[in-house]
DNA sequence: TTTT
DNA sequence: TTTT
């Protein structure tokens, strides 16, 4: 049924609140910006140097709902998914590629904070999601992680921003 | 020493021969284009649909030498590495990002073909490595890999091509 | 839904043909003895020393059927499952424990041999499994796998052998 | 250098404080009893049933020292290691097998509690840890994990207990 | 661009 | 008991 293996395992912290979107069918699609911290020994200096890597994570289905509801900026989380590279068009008409870690029903998401005291919240209401205007409004995610100029994958609401041109032509469920 | 986890596990086949480059220090750096095949059930049709995902893999150190020497187009391989996103400048001066699976001394590479009967070779001498002039000579790897407009990471030889502007400012070992 | 992670990833070769059994409900349960080979540097001698580790793998459901049908002694295989330790009673009435790698619908099995040229077959019919005398008859599997004195988990046919006392009290499906 | 893969990834909580021992060379060897919690759907009742699996984890080297110093009963931890089955002699002279997850310099251990507020410590003051009343004080971890009767692998101090007969014949470092 |  |  499958002739290959494509698996990603991450433990890190969210750089910002999750972004929740919905497919036309009402299914949640959640984007996370996840930082994994490591340190490595610089060969020149012999010093340990911290290295932070930012990952774009996209969750679908039930795990997306849980992530959207309970995770917050700063939350520590375990992610198991698969690598996927999407092609999209830049505003200049050129092809761009964004690689994401996709978590669907074959993946896994585990919250690693004790009692859901995940991040610090700082204004980002943890439940009920009141926060006025909603996601994506105003400045595009100011605590901006890598690849921030990439579109969120076409699962987005009507993109009122100029570019980089989300695909946004979903007339149905995402097909997996 | 590390406060996060960043791990990728792949099993797939090479879409082309490995590309070997060297750092100024003489260390091998090898790029692979690896295809992982899966299939998923299309929700619309109920049919199983094949899905091929292409991955950019970069190997360093000893594992790079082995990969460069024994892997060929078509080779089946197990890869364990970490995700890393590089920023580079497009010819239009805009930032681009490329995500790669980095395999260094903390990663792993396993050849999964029996007896090194990996690919077919087809002009690319699989054993003994005669091919005098070596890699990268002449045209810069015309069998362009996925995201081919991305530079190969600055580990490349003096890039005589116009763009997409390799970074190529390494005066020493890559620092990990 | 889960508050932990329990994952095993193996690539190795079968030490013998798979052992297929059936639950009262007719579901296949397959046992594998899988060898993983590594080598490590002996601190005393500085020499690389090969190390073979043997694993008991138990597959359920569809993946079990595929394994039973296509894998043979010598087959190379990728396994993704979870660790599980079973308690059983030795013939002396004492508790024993056997740890297995369980592969169910949440796990994965990938055959890594090209074209099913896996093992050698050597009399072990690949399909239909006629071989009258075969497994489980008479002496309790004399081609003894690791931890051979452990029962095969109660998924076995009526165990006529004396001991080590399989549990064998399944009146239904295994519950996962 | 290796022709197989043998990898275990666990996230769980310690059932008791770590047990630290030392090799004759003064290297730390730490044993953990780690519980991973999952839940699965019972096919009979359709109910989600919790399932706790206990794992024996053995750490060597630097990671052992960190584990021994900072982990406590209740600590949440990420473990990456390899499976290893040891043979030992029961008091009845019979062979027994214990499967452990070995974490050495090729493995990884990550503490997942915020700020080292891991467990409760119960008398074994780690460092800085005042631990007022503490969890589970009194009897040392009465919720004894699986395989508790297995010897700790010969890395133990002179075993004054009668059985199950630790091997304890190490005259040097463990060889990996 | 691979593989089955 | 496998494999290279």
Tens digits of residue pLDDT in D115-151: 545 444 334 434 433 333 323 333 333 333 334 345 5
D chain contacts of residue A113, beta-carbon cutoff 8 Å: 114
The DSSP call for residue C145 is P
B41-66: pLDDT as tens digits: 787 888 889 999 999 999 999 999 99
Question: C30: left (phi > 0), else alpha (psi -120 to 50), else beta?
Answer: beta
Strand-pair category, C48-60 with C95-103: parallel
* Residue C64: its H or E element: helix C62-70
φ/ψ of D63, rounded to 5, equals -65, -30
In contact, B102 and B30? CB cutoff 8 Å: no
Q: Any idea where the domains of chain D sit in the sequence?
A: 8-111
Strand-pair category, A95-103 with A48-60: parallel
Return the SS3 of D16. Answer: coil
Instruction: Please give the pLDDT value at position A41.
Output: 79
Instruction: Please give the pLDDT value at position A137.
Output: 32
B145 touches strand E (CB under 7 A): yes
B110-119: pLDDT as tens digits: 999 975 454 4
Using omega within 30 degrees of 0 as the cis cutoff, is the peptide bond preceding B164 cis?
A: yes
Mean pLDDT value across residues A77-96 = 94
Chains C–D, number of C-beta pairs less than 8 Å apart: 142
CB atoms within 10 A of CB A43: 13
Provide the mean pLDDT of chain D: 75
Residue nearest E1, CA–C1′ metric:
B15
Per CATH, the number for D8-111 is 2.40.50.140
Q: How many helices and strands in chain D, by DSSP H and E?
A: 1, 7
- List the chains bordering chain B where 3 or more Cβ pairs fall under 8 Å: A, C, D
In contact, C77 and C119? CB cutoff 8 Å: no
The residue length of chain D stands at: 176
Burial of C170 (0-12, 13-18, 19+ CB in 10 A): middle
- Dihedral sign, Cα of residue C129, residue C131, residue C136, residue C142: negative
On whether any CB of chain C is under 8 Å from the CB of D21, the answer is no
Instruction: Please give the pLDDT value at position D108.
Output: 96
Instruction: Please give the pLDDT value at position B83.
Output: 98
Provide the mean pLDDT of chain C: 74
Nearest-angstrom CA–CA distance, C158 and C156: 6
Helix %, strand %, coil % of chain C (to 5): 5, 40, 55
* Residue, of C122 and D114, whose pLDDT is higher: D114
**D107 CB contacts (<8 Å, ≥6 apart)?**
D59, D63, D79, D80, D81, D82
CB atoms within 10 A of CB A142: 8
Nearest-angstrom CA–CA distance, C124 and C73: 9
Nearest-angstrom CA–CA distance, B83 and C82: 24
- Smallest Cα–Cα separation from C72: which of C21, C11, C143, C18? C18
How many angstroms separate the CA of residue B173 from the nearest CA in chain D? Answer: 23
Instruction: Please give the pLDDT value at position C42.
Output: 82
Nearest-angstrom CA–CA distance, A155 and A28: 9
Nearest-angstrom CA–CA distance, D97 and C149: 10
pLDDT band at A149 (very low <50, low <70, confident <90, very high): very low
Residue nearest F1, CA–C1′ metric:
C15
B10 touches strand E (CB under 7 A): no
Distances (CA, A) of D73 to C87, D7, D18, D122: 24, 25, 7, 8
CB contact under 8 A, A110 and D11: yes
B89-111: pLDDT as tens digits: 988 889 999 999 999 999 999 99
Residues 2-61 of A with CB under 7 A from strand E: 3-4
pLDDT band at C170 (very low <50, low <70, confident <90, very high): very low
A92-130: pLDDT as tens digits: 888 999 999 999 999 999 999 975 454 444 433 343 333
B74 touches strand E (CB under 7 A): yes
Mean pLDDT value across residues A144-171 = 39
Instruction: Please give the pLDDT value at position A72.
Output: 98
CB contact under 8 A, A2 and C78: no
Strand residues in chain D grouped as ranges (E) = 5-14, 19-22, 28-41, 48-60, 76-89, 95-103, 108-111
How many angstroms separate the CA of residue D92 from the nearest CA in chain C? Answer: 9
Instruction: Please give the pLDDT value at position A31.
Output: 98
Nearest chain B residue (CA) to C111: B112
Q: Protein footprint on strand F: which nucleotides are under 7 Å from a CB?
A: 1-4
Strand-pair category, A28-41 with A48-60: antiparallel
Instruction: Please give the pLDDT value at position C139.
Output: 32
Nearest-angstrom CA–CA distance, C15 and C110: 17
Using CA atoms in the order B48, B50, B51, B57, what is the torsion angle rounded to 10 degrees? 140
Return the SS3 of D64. Answer: helix
pLDDT band at A42 (very low <50, low <70, confident <90, very high): confident
Instruction: Please give the pLDDT value at position B165.
Output: 31
The DSSP call for residue D119 is S
- pLDDT at residue A164 greater than cutoff 70: no
How many angstroms separate the CA of residue A128 from the nearest CA in chain D? Answer: 26
Nearest chain C residue (CA) to A114: C3
Q: Which of residues 102-141 of A touch B (CB under 8 A)?
A: none
- pLDDT at residue C80 greater than cutoff 90: yes
Q: Protein footprint on strand E: which nucleotides are under 7 Å from a CB?
A: 1-4
Using omega within 30 degrees of 0 as the cis cutoff, is the peptide bond preceding D38 cis?
A: no
Nearest-angstrom CA–CA distance, D95 and D151: 12
B37 nearest nt, CA–C1' = E3
- Residue among B2, B4, B78 minimizing CB distance to D5: B78
Chains B–C, number of C-beta pairs less than 8 Å apart: 17
Nearest-angstrom CA–CA distance, B39 and B55: 17
DSSP A83-146: EEEEEEE-TTS-EEEEEEEEE-TTSEEEE-SGGG--S--TT--SSS---TT-TT-SSS-SS--T
Residue nearest F3, CA–C1′ metric:
C13
Distances (CA, A) of B37 to A4, A82, B9, C70, C138: 5, 12, 13, 20, 44
C19-57: pLDDT as tens digits: 999 999 999 999 999 999 998 878 788 888 999 999 999
Instruction: Please give the pLDDT value at position B166.
Output: 31
pLDDT band at C2 (very low <50, low <70, confident <90, very high): low
In contact, C133 and C124? CB cutoff 8 Å: no
Provide the mean pLDDT of chain B: 74
The DSSP call for residue C5 is E
The DSSP call for residue C127 is S
CB contact under 8 A, A11 and D78: yes
Nearest chain C residue (CA) to A115: C3
- Which structure tokens are listed for C164? 């080590």
pLDDT band at B150 (very low <50, low <70, confident <90, very high): low
Residue carrying structure tokens 């994401």 = A100
Using omega within 30 degrees of 0 as the cis cutoff, is the peptide bond preceding D149 cis?
A: no
DSSP A17-58: --EEEE-TTS-EEEEEEEEEEEEEE-TTT--EEEEEEEEEEE
C chain contacts of residue A80, beta-carbon cutoff 8 Å: 5, 7
Rounded CA–C1' distance between C16 and F1, in angstroms: 6
* Residue, of D154 and C135, whose pLDDT is higher: D154
Provide the mean pLDDT of chain A: 75
Nearest-angstrom CA–CA distance, B63 and C124: 38
Task: Cite residues whose beta carbon is less than 7 Å from strand F.
Answer: B 114-116; C 12-16, 33, 35, 37, 52, 54, 73-74, 76, 119-120, 143, 145-146; D 3-4
Comparing A93-97, C55-59, C88-92, D42-46, which segment has the lowest mean pLDDT? D42-46
Which letter, b or e, does each residue of D118-146 get, where b requires 16 or more Cβ atoms within 10 Å of its Cβ? Answer: bbbbbebebeebebeebebeeeebeeebb
On whether any CB of chain A is under 8 Å from the CB of D76, the answer is yes
How many angstroms separate the CA of residue A69 from the nearest CA in chain B? Answer: 23
Mean pLDDT value across residues C115-124 = 42
Nearest-angstrom CA–CA distance, C79 and C57: 8
- Smallest Cα–Cα separation from C112: which of C16, C1, C8, C13? C13
Instruction: Please give the pLDDT value at position D140.
Output: 34
CB contact under 8 A, A110 and C78: no
- pLDDT at residue B140 greater than cutoff 80: no
Instruction: Please give the pLDDT value at position A59.
Output: 98
Using CA atoms in the order C89, C95, C98, C103, what is the torsion angle rounded to 10 degrees? 70
On whether any CB of chain A is under 8 Å from the CB of C3, the answer is yes
Comparing B150-164, C134-148, D76-90, which segment has the lowest mean pLDDT? C134-148
The DSSP call for residue C90 is -
Nearest-angstrom CA–CA distance, C117 and D124: 57
Q: Which of A110, A111, A113 to mutate to test the interface with C (most CBs of C within 10 A)?
A: A110
Distances (CA, A) of B154 to B82, B137, D48, D54: 19, 16, 52, 47
D68-111: pLDDT as tens digits: 999 999 999 999 999 999 999 988 888 999 999 999 999 999 99
């Amino acid at each position: 049924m499958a002739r290959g293996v494509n698996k990603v395992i991450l433990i890190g912290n969210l750089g910002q609140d999750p972004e929740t979107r919905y497919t036309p069918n009402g299914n949640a699609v959640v984007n996370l910006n996840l930082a994994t911290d490591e340190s490595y020994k610089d060969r020149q200096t012999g010093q340990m140097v911290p290295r932070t890597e930012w990952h774009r994570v996209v969750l679908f289905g039930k795990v997306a709902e849980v992530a959207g509801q309970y995770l917050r900026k700063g939350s520590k989380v375990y992610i198991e998914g698969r690598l996927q590279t999407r092609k999209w068009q830049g505003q200049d008409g050129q092809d761009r590629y964004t690689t994401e870690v996709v978590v669907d029903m074959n993946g896994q998401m585990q919250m690693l904070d004790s009692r859901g005291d995940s991040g610090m919240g700082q204004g980002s209401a943890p439940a009920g999601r009141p926060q006025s205007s909603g996601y994506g409004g105003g400045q595009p995610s100011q605590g901006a992680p890598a690849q921030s100029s990439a579109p969120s994958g076409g699962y987005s609401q009507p993109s009122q921003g100029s570019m980089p041109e989300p695909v946004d032509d979903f007339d149905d469920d995402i097909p997996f």
